[in-house]
Amino acid sequence: MSEVRNCRKCGKIFTYLGGGPICPSCKQADEEDFKRVRDYLYDHPGSSLNQVSLELDISVEKIKRFLKDGRLEITDEEGNMFLECESCGKSIKSGRYCVNCERDLASNLKSTASQMKSVLDSVSESAGKAIEMRYLNKEDQKKI
């Protein structure tokens, strides 16, 4: 009943539980990296992306991904920002859209924006919901 996938990172086969496309051990390593970046930024506020990458030996791409997930924010006093708004291209610190576009999206598509927001608010929580739904669907299928 469980779905098996190849880890996109290490290629190992693992049981897919509705999380990302990587296996639990890679996810664990990712989580460790995330914590290291977070702690480093906490101790060294205003660090540049390259500095964090060099100090922690974590790729810039990976740190950018953490930023994109909206879980991290690099607060640079000089205003250096590393991400671009996916809608207008303006520099932003975290997430996918700048404040203006987020507001536009919210007024245009109120329900979608709030859904997106709740996804951004808690990635792990939504993963939990996806798992529940998956199991529920499986149960339904059995009954039919």
Binding site for Zn ion (CB under 5 A): 7, 9-10, 12, 23, 26, 85, 87-88, 90, 98, 101
Measured from the CB atom, is 10 or 131 closer to Zn ion?
Answer: 10
Which among 77, 124, 119, 76 has a CA at the least distance from the CA of 97?
119
Measured from the CB atom, is 14 or 66 closer to Zn ion?
Answer: 14
- Least separation in angstroms between residue 24's CB and Zn ion is 8
CA distance 18 to 129: 9
- Least separation in angstroms between residue 54's CB and Zn ion is 25
Measured from the CB atom, is 87 or 126 closer to Zn ion?
Answer: 87
| 134: CB partners within 8 A, 6+ apart | 18
Place of tokens 């975290």: 94
Asked whether the beta carbons of 92 and 83 are under 8 A apart, the reply is: yes
Q: Residue 93's Cα: distance from chain center in Å? A: 14
The amino acid at residue 45 is P
Any idea what DSSP says for residue 92? E
- Least separation in angstroms between residue 94's CB and Zn ion is 13
Measured from the CB atom, is 23 or 52 closer to Zn ion?
Answer: 23
- Least separation in angstroms between residue 27's CB and Zn ion is 8
